[in-house]
Structure 1
């Protein structure tokens, strides 16, 4: 990772770079800091809210179209995709300054492979995310128990007519799109240039989730987030959901790994005017 400084001298741009240290693999000091536990709480609450809103949307949509011959009944797949993408946009915006706004074990795994977070932080984030997901779906079941049971609890399963390979491929590609977008949107060079518009990082991440849901809801219900799939499976506790559960862990982790080792293209303008500095923002 680099910190770049551009400055105009004698009518020419000069670039000065210096290496920014990567996150240590093990950092026991994190366990003594309140900011670490505050980040865990943020990940827990964000994932809880994410699952609560999105699973309620899925169940509500299914209840609206049940027995309804109107093909336009309910919010439709488009509405479900908006719910998932919109919530990610909102929650990343709210938690980015506290925990980095991961809200997804696959994102955390990708950032760990890229040495953006330590192993301790990555593992604890994943635990917090999974617990938050379980609690979020648990709230949905508590508030809408009859509808929850009737409409499969929002659990991710491989749809009939699709092979395991197709489902796995959909999860790999979908998660790659998401995690690659995360790396691109949070790139220090891009972040500094767009710092005057603070919503620009969460916005493309939310849109990536939205677009992937449009493409893969008919195949797997769209996982791309192991915590989302795990939380729904735990509360729904259905054999089919558990049989397919590995797809929603292996696929996203493979997609995240590919994105982590395929660094985004850093845009470097050659026609910049004036003086400006690009510095990595603390994570």
Structure 2
């Protein structure tokens, strides 16, 4: 029996919540460079492993998009209806907000933690960039990284791929790769919901920069979907 839309909605909500809680949580709670910190590489793997875990947990229910850019890309590629996509995107944004709220509650348990000072794993460019990369650099990075990420997803989930059982692993590892390169630039979004959740709690500066982390991933996903549908897998 196929999952109904309600099951898919809840799966996308939970999956995105876990992604934000564990991915951003690795940066906020365990990402320092001290003796107990996991560093940049650890944060990159936390995001990727979150996707791998959720792919095998909810992939058979909703496809485990947990990312509005992926959902929009699926619509453009002809793999999903617009009506279903709207439900997915709402679930993803709500899940990201829930994940960020839980993370804030946990992080606030440390006496010297302050969300304004320490952040909540939000994305940023210019002065808000981890390594102070410009707005242009951030926009290009988010667009191209999302383009690459969606290409991996389209290929890994294609009916022509004989290794489809490893789709979750290949998608998660591609996200690790993207984070290894992109964390210094923007903290890496490639996922509007992942950016929206932490930004709502991190303050006005993070919210004012959200436009980039919504528009660039969506642009990248559309370009990737068009490339896949009309060039790479064209009959």
Q: TM-score, normalised by structure 1?
A: 0.74
- Kindly report which structure 2 residues correspond to 1:1-283, keeping only aligned pairs within 5 A, or say none: 35-62=4-31, 64-65=32-33, 68=34, 74-145=37-108, 146=110, 147=113, 149=115, 150-158=117-125, 159=129, 161-190=132-161, 193-194=162-163, 198=165, 200-236=166-202, 238-263=203-228, 265=232
Higher-strand-fraction structure: 1
- Unpaired stretches in structure 2, ≥5 consecutive residues: none
For residue 34 of structure 1, report the CA deviation from its aligned partner. Answer: 6.4
Alignment coverage as a number of residue pairs: 222
Aligned in 2, Cα 1:148/1:229: closer, same or farther, shift over 3 Å? farther
- Unpaired stretches in structure 1, ≥5 consecutive residues: 1-32, 267-283
Following superposition, which runs of at least 4 residues in structure 1 exceed 4 angstroms of deviation?
none
Counterparts of 1:38 and 1:221, CA distance in 2: 31
- SS of the residue aligned with 2:64? coil
Q: Deviation string for 1:103-162 (max 9, x for gaps)?
A: 100000000111211111111100100000000110011122153624111111111642
- Is contact 2:12-2:64 (8 Å) kept? yes
Larger Rg: 1
For residue 183 of structure 1, report the CA deviation from its aligned partner. Answer: 0.3
Higher-helix-fraction structure: 2
- Is contact 2:97-2:197 (8 Å) kept? yes
For residue 95 of structure 1, report the CA deviation from its aligned partner. Answer: 1.3
- Is contact 1:40-1:125 (8 Å) kept? yes
Corresponding residue for residue 276 of structure 1: none
